[in-house]
Structure 1
Amino acid sequence: MEETFKTLPKHTLNWSKGKLTFYKYEGFWSIKKYLEEVILAQQSFKARPTDVLLCSCPKTGTTWLKALAFAIVTRDKFNESTTPLLTTLPHDCLPILEKTLDRIEDNSCFPLMSTHIPYTSLPESVLSSNCKIVYIYRNVKDVIVSQEISKLAIEDAPFEEAFDEFCQGVSFYGPYWDHILGYWKASLERPDTILFLKYEDLKMDPVSNVKRLAEFIGYPFSIQETNAGVVEKIIQLCSFENLSKLEVNKSENLPAKDFVVENQFFFFRKAKDGDWENYFTDDMKEKVDKLIDQELSSTGLVLK
């Protein structure tokens, strides 16, 4: 592993507690700890046909997607007053692919698992198993702000510096546009096994999209459930307004050990569309628009 990292391109960022070095592996950037986990997963992880992978880049709706999927899958076991989502960070309600390598003794039928790994770097067993993949993406400008202004952000550096590094592709599992593109192309080739969700669409029409999500992962709502308002109850339970006010999600002490951040409220920043307008200059807006046009104009993928 050490010899592998000696050969990788690297870039050092200013961090709230000093310097943080990113390495570029298989076309994507991240820190050494995370990339070591990716490499081990590629070597060891064995996917099952019943698995459902929730995939994303950080700060693109990951927390919301995890909460919704967990509530959907466990709705026969828990209701809105007994669900673990009331007392547990959504990220701790389901396992992370890179940290679930030895599954020999795992007899659990729980299907959900999450990852930030780019599509082209997923373990081979994921692709050969034909397990379901749900990918969520978000407006690039809002992702820049959400990443760089959050507790995971480069707090000691000016926003302009963080912005420029993101545009160079240096961010967690970036370049972000390449991350989206990998899953988008795969969703066109394998629509039966890959669901491509847009964060803004989910916010605009949560009922239709939550039904679509439930159907895709194999837990469709019955007519009786629909008539009883179960879909709306899950949406309310998993809403930003509800989850962000829970004590477990306001704590400054993060029990989960899988993240660089130390505070739970990092995962519940604003969930607001268009917040980038409060931070971007006209030059920044123009730069991002030109960048996305340059990177995606020939692909057929349109990111508004």
Structure 2
Amino acid sequence: MWLDDGGSAVQATSRAKTPDSVPYAESRVIQARQAVCPVLQLPQRSRWACRKQKKHKLPTEKATITETPEISARTQFPEVKSQADELSHLEHQVNLACALLRSEQRVQARQVSEKALQQLQHLKAQGVQGSYALEYALRVNLACSLDSDVHGRKYQLQQAISVQPSRVEARFHLAAVMVEEGNYSEALRTLQEALKLAPLDLNCLALACRCLEGLGRHAEALAAAERLCGLDPASTFLALREVFHCKTDDVFVVTFPRCGTTWMVQIVVSCLFGPRANYEDHALFLEGSIASSATYVRKLEELPLPRVLKSHVPADMYPGLAHGKDSILQRYGKVIYVVRDPKDALISLRHHHANNQAIGWDGSWDEWVDQWISGQRSLEYGGSYFDHVKGWWKLSQHHPDRIRVVYFEDLKADLSAEIGAVASFLGLSLEKDALAEAAASCQFDAMRRRHKVDDEIRSRVNPDHFRSGQVGSWQTTLTQRQAQLVDDASQKQLAQELEQGLRVDIAGSAKGPS
């Protein structure tokens, strides 16, 4: 085993199961973009050199000051106060560099970090103590700002490790540089050292998955991914991005939540296994299954072909991407991505969260609209509806033969035609009778009658998974202002995609109630 922590990765996973009381949607989310390059921010201290002094009311009587040894010392040695102020200022510079890095302003972050590091070296020469954490953070953030200077990044990270060898961030970054160089063996050794210090570090575990895959040690990579998902189910996409291998005839059905995912899964299952087949017997909800048990990371390998996988994964975390690539697909696997009118999707997800006992949303519609537009209600799926659609639209434009965009409204308008188009995309041809039977089986009411919810699940989640399935329900639910907010966001955030041919209804907001 690549990591000797007193037990196998599978055993470690079993010890770290997520409690049933913690819903998947509310668990801590690793933002994969930050996980690739986490930066350091120091906690704020009680006083900052840059903070404005608080204004105090003048006392009505003159205060009597009794001199103490501490006051006397500050009076006799004013440089102590000056040094403390300089340290406080450097803390501010660390956090400024951190903010600049997160906003992709690497040149400015480098300038801030280099200047602060010079000031810190000057203070160290004067014998100032307690600056190790500052130097460590400055060097790690400086390394993050040196994009193309591999040697410089390595040097800064090695210096950071020598300053504070008990911390893991610098080791993680050093391993990431080694991965960029293709040196998976050294990277894995560095990660082993980091994980001995912090066995539960999720970033290190995720990068270890990539190293093990790069070394051809797939079984161990699966074990590491299983452990990662066991520690944090919200890391599912991050883990699968590193270890998942698409097989012949794999079909992914992907949507933003509440945009017709299960409906399309039933259509795919009817095409592949016959019109009487039920999606619950032939398809797997990817992140939901792994959230319930991390062992599904390994079970995915054992599913019979063809595998039908339902997911809300954002495009940049799609498991079918080539490992380490942003827009290149693996050899196998197709995706059907369903787009729904954002206003209807907003309403459906709100009802789902309100009726889901594990989430129990009880805020106002105004609050919901604002949070839905900003993506606060869908952080575990990579951000907002608009981010999700943009990502998949872009990927579909690069791979039109592998990714098909389908519209919820088209399914409602002519289900038979859409089923035929899906079958053709999957390389199948349905006879007229089979197509008619599949269309009958995939009607919304027919699916709702067949839908089963186990008693154990019913106590935690929404048993009424199939609510209405209507087009335009926003017209009787949203106010004019709320509908206009969604339309404005659609026009602004999907402007380029709309020009390229994406269809999203942004007309008729005035139909909503005032």
Q: TM-score of the superposition, structure 2-length normalised?
A: 0.47
Which residue of structure 2 aligns with residue 234 of structure 1? 438
Aligned to 1:278: 476
C-alpha separation in 2, matches of 1:92 and 1:104:
15
Match of 1:133 among 331, 335, 340: 335
Offset at residue 192 of structure 1 (A): 0.7
How far off its partner does 1:296 sit?
1.2
> CA distance change for structure 1 residues 105 and 54 in 2, over 3 Å: closer, same or farther?
closer
| 1:72 has 2:72 as partner | no
Query: Contact 1:187/1:195 (CA < 8 Å) preserved in 2?
Result: yes
The answer for the alignment partner of 1:10 in structure 2 is none
Q: Which of 391, 408, 415 does residue 199 from structure 1 map onto?
A: 408
Match of 1:25 among 22, 31, 46: 31
Partner Cα separation in structure 1 for residue 403 and residue 337 of structure 2: 7
Determine helix, strand or coil for the equivalent of 1:201: helix
d(CA) in 1 for partners of 2:476, 2:26: 27
**Which sits farther off after the overlay, 33-42 or 180-189?**
33-42
Q: Cα deviation per residue 1:226-257 (whole Å; 9 max; x = unaligned)?
A: 1xx211211111211112123x44x573659x
Distance 2:482 2:300 in 1: 50
Checking the alignment, whether the CA contact within 8 Å between 1:134 and 1:197 is kept in structure 2 is yes
Cα pair 1:135 1:183 within 8 Å, conserved: yes
Separation in structure 1 between the aligned mates of residue 266 and residue 375 of structure 2, nearest angstrom:
28
Structure 1 residue 159, shift from structure 2 partner: 2.2
* 8 Å Cα contact 1:252-1:262 kept in structure 2: no
Counterpart of 2:372? 166
Q: Which amino acid aligns with 1:269?
A: R
| Counterpart residue number, 1:303 | 504
Matching residue's letter, 2:429: P
Q: 2:237 aligns with which of 38, 60, 72?
A: 38
Question: Partners of 1:208 and 1:168 in 2: how far apart?
Answer: 35
Letter in 2 for 1:242: A
Say if 1:41 and 1:97, in contact at 8 Å, map to a contact too: no
Q: Deviations over 1:22-41 (max 9, x none)?
A: 6461469xxx9552211221
1:180 is matched with which residue?
389
Contact 1:296 1:302 in 2 (8 A): no
Once the two structures are TM-superposed, the CA of residue 101 in structure 1 deviates from its matched residue by 3.1
Task: Check whether the contact 2:340–2:407 (CA below 8 A) recurs between aligned residues.
Answer: yes
Within 1, Cα distance between the matches of 2:462 and 2:281?
A: 14
In the aligned structure 2, how far is the partner of 1:133 from the partner of 1:67?
A: 14
Residues 254 and 262 in structure 1, CA contact (< 8 A), matched pair in contact too: no
8 Å CA contact retained: 1:46, 1:103 = no
Q: 1:65 deviation in Å?
A: 0.5
Q: For the Cα contact (< 8 Å) 2:28–2:234, is it kept in 1?
A: no
Taking the aligned partners of 2:235 and 2:322, their CA distance within structure 1 comes to 18
Look up the equivalent residue of 2:399 and give its one-letter code.
Answer: R
Asked if 1:95 corresponds to 2:284, the answer is yes
Q: Displacement of 1:62 after TM fit?
A: 0.6
**Shift, 1:218, TM fit:** 2.3
1:104–1:188 Cα change, 3 Å: closer
* Structure with greater helix share of residues: 2
Counterpart for residue 449 of structure 2: 245
Partner amino acid, structure 1, of 2:362: D
1:49 positional shift: 3.6
Residues 338, 407 of structure 2: 8 Å contact kept: yes
Q: CA deviation at 1:111?
A: 3.1
Q: Secondary structure at the match of 2:482?
A: helix
Count of matched residue positions in the alignment of Structure 1 and Structure 2: 265
CA offset at residue 261 of structure 1? 5.5
TM-score by length of 1: 0.77
Structure 2 CA distance for aligned equivalents of residues 20 and 116 of structure 1: 15
- The answer to which of 36-45 and 280-289 deviates more is 36-45
Note closer, same or farther for the CA distance 1:261–1:193 as it changes in structure 2 (3 Å cut). farther
Unaligned runs of 5+ in 1: 1-16
Q: In structure 2, what is the Cα distance between the partners aligned to 1:38 and 1:107?
A: 19
Give the partner amino acid of 2:312. H
Asked if 1:111 corresponds to 2:318, the answer is: no
- Structure 1 residue 215 corresponds to structure 2 residue 413: no
Q: 1:154 to 1:287 in 2, by over 3 A?
A: farther
1:53 matched to 2:252? The reply is yes
SS of residue paired to 2:455: coil
3-state DSSP class of the match of 1:245? Answer: helix
In the alignment, the residues of structure 2 paired with residue 20 and residue 103 of structure 1 have an alpha-carbon distance, to the nearest angstrom, of: 25
Q: Distance in 2 between matches of 1:298 and 1:107?
A: 39
Change over 3 Å in CA distance of 1:24–1:175 after alignment to 2: farther
From the superposition, tell whether residues 60 and 51 of structure 1 become closer, same or farther in structure 2 (CA, over 3 Å). Answer: same
- Note the alpha carbon deviations across 1:121-159, whole angstroms, 9 max, x for none: 113348222421111110000000000022247532222
Equivalent AA in structure 1 for residue 364 of structure 2: P
Which digits, 9 at most, give the CA deviation of each residue in 1:50-94, with x for residues without a partner?
21111111110011001111111111xxx53xx3x2xxxx35631
**2:224 match:** none
Structure 1 residues 230 and 164: alpha-carbon distance in aligned structure 2, compared to 1, 3 A threshold = same
CA contact under 8 A between 2:283 and 2:307: conserved in structure 1?
no
